[in-house]
Structure 1
């Protein structure tokens, strides 16, 4: 992934170009399955009430329970065979389990001013918006120590901006940003320490009906050189990337919900960590309609010692994007994460010393969506580094059963890590996490 123009570093600029060249130069043997029906983008109710819970109040999370423990199949290097996948690669041989019906996708449901005069919403002349929120038109320029709360913000460009401002709190706020496609983010913080965001819904009002945004920097939240951010119970809709962190270590992201990330390339993530070590993302849900969104990776980690846990990712139409990918990071731990309807890959490790535990893939596909082309990997599920540790993993309804795993020397019997994965049948993804707001 490329860095934003806020930083001139090209540390990761050519990474995906190289990966894409590798995939394009390699042959892959795949048979596209019947297309999985896409869930309607405007339906925020779950299509399967047995697997999708009622909305959860802010401040709480749903306990997600993975499938019953399975006896993992340990795939060792000598047992692999060079079947499908990139040229010279080896893959897990297909099992003879009966085909499983695809899982039904879970469908989701102005001038700049100083913030000081309107943070508490006490102006009696100000119009009242939904559920007691006070409407504010225009971008808010925050100042150190501000508490911005109980507002319904409508802005032609950015919603809230921080520049060198510390200890700002934003809570119980709804933001409609980029209303006239002037660009900007819902919340942008530059050089601002210890930002707290809680109970906030962020909507890119200038996004097109479908397809990519006009600008890859229309972030829901963009953090640049802003360490120590605490972001919780946040829902983002139609952003280029939901939360983008660059040079912003020690961030805690919890209760993050995102719908239809729009890119364009190199953006399109729910969350991306660039040089933002010692951060975490827990209790999250990302839904992308395959014909409306414009994704890249869903969760991208270019940082060290990052924890990703307890999340459901549903939908990725990028021919080069992956559900959860580590790009150069070390000490990353991914656990209890399910992916549904991935094309190019579910879990990929291009770092060192990283672990993936209790991760599952459901109903990946081999066809093209939104006119973006077929997956460059031939519908791979797992990509390994030399020392990846993947345990208690599972996959169901693989689009290319002979192309489940690749990389890390596993095709040459030189893999030095651990890869344990079982094919499963008749299972369902974990229940989705949902935020609940007073205005919903």
Structure 2
């Protein structure tokens, strides 16, 4: 840890859709416009929000996940991303205490991250449909978990001045400061699709939207008081994520990484760790009909939205033929969307079946949708670029695509969920090619 550790806040709410993202992005952009070196982070396994944080601040953001990441990894990543910052704002997920059954501190909740880092929580409170009753919610959030401390409240979706006064008086009577109240507004919303927000790289006029969010919070919130409420972590960090400083060892020395609007779900902390370990990451764009570089020793196809681009991918012969040639002699791994692209066919939302790489036997469909969501603990079935047989990895699944035909390949791994499900085979493996719907976050401790 640096001699002057960075003060931080975790921005939380009692439930989803309370305004955490709007408040976080507005504050990040507003503080950055004031000349502060402000860094964002995101609780949980969300690929999309950190990219918005990075655009808002011009600085990297990453994920902090209390279920998948061992405590030393979580604190080490936080120390690394905030090392040269003036302020850190970590966006929470869901309700602040929402997680999965787990050992203390490992449920994956926003409160677990706040407790692990010692950062106070800034509560975003949607008060539509209530006034003084909001104080009861604040009191519960402030007292439910003795490990964490509430720095103050931002009121959201406030109505009239009278409405704001009723809420403020009731909350401040508890001794909890109210840093301001945001009015109801639809003008600053971000576009969404089936896996959440439309990606930052695809959002038109994003800088203007972020400036509008910053204008809103500057007009209605006390930014000086919010900054003053942040606190540095009281805990010592080793300065390294874990014994070798890595969440996951590089799968190769030179890594060909698919990177475009179809394949974009790659955790920043994995790329940072691989590069820090001396690996080279060489991006290529399947949608531009680019194959993986022939001088790489492993190819990685991350998740994303291949279902939205299936026709183009199927028609891109240089990409597909280059991928097949690569797989003859070197490992190829696909996560979620990458797994779908490695299969025999992908059926789009309109029911049109598109041939894919055919390196695995699986057939998938986005026409037959079913949400699959949750943490996964995976044990590798065989030696491969992600580790030795039996090595355990922690991560998650989040997809709507269905497997219409699994093919006859051997499984990639055996997985369980966070609720104690029976171990089950997952994904596919054929010679040097592997894939599954599992997104890896870190090696299990």
TM-score, shorter chain, exceeding 0.5: no
More strand by percentage: 1
Higher relative contact order, chain-length normalized (CA < 8 Å, sep 6+): 1
TM-score, with structure 1 as normaliser: 0.23
More helix by percentage: 2
TM-score, with structure 2 as normaliser: 0.23
